[in-house]
Amino acid sequence: MEIQSVKARYGIIGNAPALNRALDIAMQVAATNMSVLITGESGVGKESIPKIIHHLSSRKHGPYIAVNCGAIPEGTIDSELFGHEKGSFTGAHESRKGYFEEANDGTIFLDEVAELPLGTQVRLLRVLETGEFIRVGSSKVQKTNVRVVAATNVNFAQAIQNGKFRDDLYYRLNQVPIFMPSLRERGADIALLFKKFATDFAERYRIPVLQLTDSGANALREYRWPGNIRQLKNITEQISILETERIVSPELLIRYLPQDMATNKPVFMGGKGGNDYSEREILYKVLFDMRNDLTDLKKLVLGVIQNESGFDNSDENEALFQKVFESEEHKNSDLPVRMTPQSNIIHLGSGNSSEEEEEVEESLSLSQTEKDLIKKALQKHRNRRKYAAQELGISERTLYRKIKEYDLGK
């Protein structure tokens, strides 16, 4: 069967290379009995893949059962998957077949498989390796011939590292990996999906179809779609019902697309570039904000020192403070700087009164540091005062005066 025929049969819209690759793998692996693990973000349409695999396989006349592992309570999931015997637990008034027994000679789709408890993971591993399982409350081993397709939006590497998922089960499930791309990775498919949903809702509610402008289509592509296809469908339905205006522009869309960066939701960026450009701009903005905050902090501390100690606001003092602030001692320290104006003391520490604090008299500290910096600059440039002054960010005349003041001319 051709890929376009598969798309038409299962209502899959789009021609993104990553989507076509996922469908191609599903079509190729369908004829085998290999386990398949589908990964991708929530809302990308992972549930279509196991249906394609089942209906293109030799098991297509057998049962197809989809199980949401995250929706079944931990105390009953073993019974749901593997069945139980009468009287095996409170409320077990009769024997019951589990999903693996019901799906014999067919396909079982385990959605949100990473939510399975560790004990259930052991049972599932045995089914995958030997085809054997035991009902809850029984000692009789039973056999099943079932194809397992699993899906998750969880980062398996992290789940395994945290001890929440067995690595041996992961490798057994992951015989054939299929990755479903997020909506923001599908470019032009976004506008196609919007138009398809708009047409469907117009027919359902007997209303005029929404018309998407070119600028509106660009706005859809620039948004990051954290909820993927599910979010796009919901927003299309909202606009279809709530808006009397049938022309969909960026100004209309922005009223429906969440813009809250605090909840890790994406925002529209200016009309240039695609998603990568937008994310870079966000990163640059954060970095520039941090730099501005640091500059403001330097000015604040300098102002406190000047006000409390009577320092004038000369260029020499500002350049000196810049050198002090960026010295290796402060650069390599994890300790924040606090000022106590009442005592004219700089505190280096965590701010907790119970911790030891290093206290240095302000006037002595700055004078000694100034003297040390001048000595180091002169040594570095072999007493060539012109270059030493440039290194310190002060004039040669000021340097001569400081050398004389600190008796450094010897």
Tell me the pLDDT tens digit for each residue of 25-61.
999 999 999 999 999 999 999 999 999 999 999 999 9
Domain 3-181: give its CATH code. Answer: 3.40.50.300
| Mean pLDDT over each residue of the chain, to the nearest integer | 82
Place of tokens 């798309």: 7
Residue 224's pLDDT is what?
93
Vertex 220 angle, CA 215 and 226, to 5°: 160
Residue 375's pLDDT is what?
85
Residue 359's pLDDT is what?
43
Whether the pLDDT of residue 332 is over 90: the answer is no
pTM here?
A: 0.63
Q: How confident is the model at residue 306 (pLDDT cuts 50, 70, 90)?
A: low
Q: How many CB atoms lie within 10 A of CB 304?
A: 16
Q: Are 115 and 70 in contact (CB under 8 A)?
A: yes
* For range 221-242, the mean pLDDT: 95
Higher pLDDT among residues 295 and 226, named by residue: 226
Residue 408's pLDDT is what?
82
Mean pLDDT: which of 4-13, 265-274, 373-382 is highest?
4-13
Whether the pLDDT of residue 346 is over 70: the answer is no
In 49-167, DSSP assigns E strands to: 64-68, 107-111, 132-134, 141-143, 147-152
Pairing of strands 132-134, 141-143: antiparallel
CA distance 228 to 190: 10
Whether the pLDDT of residue 291 is over 50: the answer is yes
Quick one: which of 98, 72, 73 has its CA closest to 84? 98
Q: Which residues are paired to 345 by β-bridges? A: 340, 361
Place of tokens 């907790």: 352
Instruction: Tell which CATH architecture fits domain 184-268.
Output: Orthogonal Bundle (1.10)
Domain ranges of the chain: 3-181, 184-268, 294-405
Residue 379's pLDDT is what?
85
pLDDT digits (tens, 9 = 90+) for 175-227: 999 999 999 999 999 999 999 999 999 999 999 999 999 999 999 999 999 99
Q: What percent of the chain has pLDDT over 70?
A: 73
How far, CA to CA in Å, does 344 sit from each of 295, 314, 365? 22, 20, 11
Give the SS3 label for residue 383: coil
Higher pLDDT among residues 287 and 26, named by residue: 26
Q: How far is CA 406 from the centre of its chain?
A: 56
Residue 228's pLDDT is what?
96
Give the SS3 label for residue 12: coil
Residue 322's pLDDT is what?
56
Residue 303's pLDDT is what?
66
* For range 100-125, the mean pLDDT: 97
Quick one: which of 386, 380, 387, 378 has its CA closest to 409? 378
Q: How confident is the model at residue 405 (pLDDT cuts 50, 70, 90)?
A: confident
CA distance 323 to 336: 17
Q: Which residues are paired to 39 by β-bridges? A: 152, 179
